[in-house]
Amino acid sequence: MLTRRQLIKSAGLFGLLGSGLSLKTIAAGNSEKKRVVRFAHLTDVHMEPELNAPAGLAKCLHHLQSQKDQPSFVMSGGDCIFDALHQTKNRVELQWNIWQNIFRQDNTLPIEHCIGNHDCWGFGQKEDPLYGKKYAMEKMQLTMPYRSFNNGGWHFIILDSIQPKADGTWYTCLLDDAQFSWLQQDLAATPLSVPIIVVSHAPLVSAATVVTDNKFKDGEGYVIGVGNMHMDSPKIIELFDQYPNIKLCLSGHIHLHERVLYNGVTYISNGAVSGNWWKGMRYKTDNGYALVNLYDDGSFDDEYVSYGWNA
């Protein structure tokens, strides 16, 4: 014999089936997640006049904008230009001009920027007002090298991984004290019900960084350089551990596509538009970009897409 409860349930079910809804829809009910943001993550373009790089970026932009399901904006992960660290101002300007012209001609989507190490100019030419990060910030139209904003119910945090060494000659990957306190405050001010995505140029956590490029040294084990991954990862992870609403961290820099799940946070490095600096693939990672979907329940997906570039 059916109970009253079961009877109502089955009547409801048949009523719904009669109305044309599939069983799958009914099973999901109102809890079906809704996509709230879709964007393209492009990182490590390394623009230069050589190696057909301008045509490569144009092809990539056309590829992502001709997706049937188009992203709503481009998240640039840094290292837009091949290199500014050791180049003359003319050379740096030339690379930025190519970058900007291509984006003007071949892209209609809004763009958000994250600063990369190769975007920072001429550590060593301190007298120039555009020295260091200011050049990149001007080209990216940023007033601060790090920031946060909300989009589609998600909180985006864009970090600045790149800090000059004390002698000003080279970079290290970390958050300086001012940025770390800003991050602490920004996280504390974000309600726990709001899912958070963090974007940085250098990975906060990476496994591929450790196992590529023959970093094993006899007697020492795997040794990674100061420029490969954030040096302050333990401190950042300790902070992240307090916020279960941090869901996804995206980076570039290593030109490899990898995904690491650690303490409930997924860390993804999304390859490189330039692949192996426009000379082909880097290990098994092809020239590509990622399409990222964010959902209202705090879940996400990230698909790395090759745009068919032949070096």
Q: Which positions lie near Zn ion, rule CB under 5 A? A: 79, 116-117, 253
* Rounded alpha-carbon distances, angstroms, from residue 175 to 190, 191, 236, 241: 20, 23, 9, 17
Residue 133 vs 253, nearer CB to Zn ion:
253
Residue 201 vs 247, nearer CB to Zn ion:
201
Shortest Cβ 116–Zn ion spacing (Å): 4
Q: Which residue's Cβ has the minimum distance to Zn ion?
A: 253
CA atoms within 13 A on the CB side of 177: 0
CA distance 311 to 53: 9
Shortest Cβ 227–Zn ion spacing (Å): 8
Shortest Cβ 199–Zn ion spacing (Å): 13
CA distance 269 to 201: 9
Shortest Cβ 161–Zn ion spacing (Å): 8
CA atoms within 13 A on the CB side of 141: 5
Q: Which residues of 93-119 are buried (b: 16+ CB within 10 A; e: fewer)?
A: bbbbebbeebbeeebeeeebbbbbbbb
Residue 124 vs 227, nearer CB to Zn ion:
227
* Rounded alpha-carbon distances, angstroms, from residue 259 to 119, 256, 268, 270: 25, 10, 4, 9
* Rounded alpha-carbon distances, angstroms, from residue 203 to 230, 246, 273: 6, 15, 16
> CA nearest 162: which of 66, 50, 78?
78
Residue 155 vs 201, nearer CB to Zn ion:
201
Residue 137 vs 196, nearer CB to Zn ion:
137
Residue 161 vs 190, nearer CB to Zn ion:
161
Shortest Cβ 122–Zn ion spacing (Å): 16
Shortest Cβ 259–Zn ion spacing (Å): 19
Tell me whether residue 91 is exposed, middle or buried, using C-beta atoms within 10 angstroms of its C-beta: 0 to 12, 13 to 18, 19 or more: middle
Shortest Cβ 238–Zn ion spacing (Å): 25
Residue 87 vs 190, nearer CB to Zn ion:
87
